[in-house]
Every structure is written in C-alpha cells, then in structure tokens.
Chains A and B, each alone.
Chain A
Amino acid sequence: GAGVSQTPSNKVTEKGKYVELRCDPISGHTALYWYRQSLGQGPEFLIYFQGTGAADDSGLPNDRFFAVRPEGSVSTLKIQRTERGDSAVYLCASSLRGNEQFFGPGTRLTVL
C-alpha cells in the first residue's frame, strides 16, 4: 500500500522544544503539501513544494516554522521553540498532477 506516510503518528513535547515531523509522499508525486488541523477546524494550508522548491509558503504562521524537501521526495516540517498553540494534527498530502491531493494519516503534536 503505497500511500502517504507520516512519522511519528504522535509527538508530545514541552514548550520551547524543537520538533521535526516527517512525510513520505506517494512515489512519483512531484507536489507535496503541509496542512495543520486544530480541533474543530478544517485543515489549514501551510506550505507546498513542487519538486525540491517551496512553491508557496504563505501559510506558515511565523518564522518558527520551516519545511524542507531536499531531494524532491521526503519532506520534514520543523518547528522551533514550540508553543502550546502549535498543538494540532499536522497533515501531509502529495499530488501528481495537482488535481487531487492524497493525504497521510497525520502527526498529532501535543505541546505541554
């Protein structure tokens, strides 16, 4: 089953710590997206990559958030100096032709 995978599935950290969330897209998908879903809300767009470059990072809330995709496949979302308000489910999606985004199961981040 070659769907989008995300690791870890759950991450608990303390306020002020640094975290990395990983996304493995569907093989061959050139576009990769990160979203954040808070309780009771829909997914909120953060950033998307076309190949290795960030095509649109307008959704990143501030400079504590950063994402990379160095080889055009796996992507890592990095959050520095985590705050309690960063607690959410972080969703990754990938797409081949841009008309349908396939989502992974998400990483639930809890900042204590």
Chain B
Amino acid sequence: DQQVKQNSPSLSVQEGRISILNCDYTNSMFDYFLWYKKYPAEGPTFLISISSIKDKNEDGRFTVFLNKSAKHLSLHIVPSQPGDSAVYFCAASALGGGADGLTFGKGTHLIIQP
C-alpha cells in the first residue's frame, strides 16, 4: 500500500516554462516532506523540504507547496532548465524533521525539452 504517491511517471516541459510535480500522501502522521532529485547511476540529492506547520517553502527556482487538508504537495520549478531533467522523488517523514526512515514515492521523470 503506497503511502506516498506520485501518479505521473513522467512529465515533459519546455525549457523556460514552469514544471509542476505532484505528490499525494495517505498517512496523516507524516509531518515533514522532502523532494529529492536523482540522475542515473547517482544517489538521490536533497532539493527542498517543508514542515507541516508551513504551506510554502521557497529556495531559488524551487518552491514546494503543502495542502494538509488535501494531503497533497507540489514542487514548482521556474524557469525550467535542461539540467533539471532527472527523476524527482517525493518523500515523507513521521518523526519530525526527517530523522526517521523516509517513505518515498515512485518518482516522476522530468524531461526538459529545449
């Protein structure tokens, strides 16, 4: 039973436009959420996180939005760049701050078209 769901296996976006990656979760105990980016043959790299006490966190081109009532979060990348092409994983933690083992979604493969 998938507690973190990324329903889009892939997403294609034109360079310079906004990329929006979505994530849904079912476990109401999750209180900290993270996005990781993964290139082939490398480990996931941390991108941005958000605590459940916030509804938005921004870092440069990356913004994460959290809708607790809908159990939904999204990652916005603007403007999208060719180097953003990678697999993006949504992850969640139930111990506050991500100190426990994370629960990951299946990932969304983002392809930035030139």
Contacts and interface: CB of A to CB of B under 8 A. Distances in A.
Contacts of A44: 104
Contacts, number: 68
B98 A93 contact: no
B101 A99 contact: no
A33 B91 CA distance: 14
B103 A45 contact: yes
A40 interface: yes
Given A43-B89, A91-B44, A106-B43, A101 B97 contact: no
Interface residues of A, number: 30
Interface string B73-114: 000000000000000010100010111111111110000000
Interface of A: 4, 31, 33, 35, 40-48, 55-56, 58-59, 91, 93, 95, 97-106
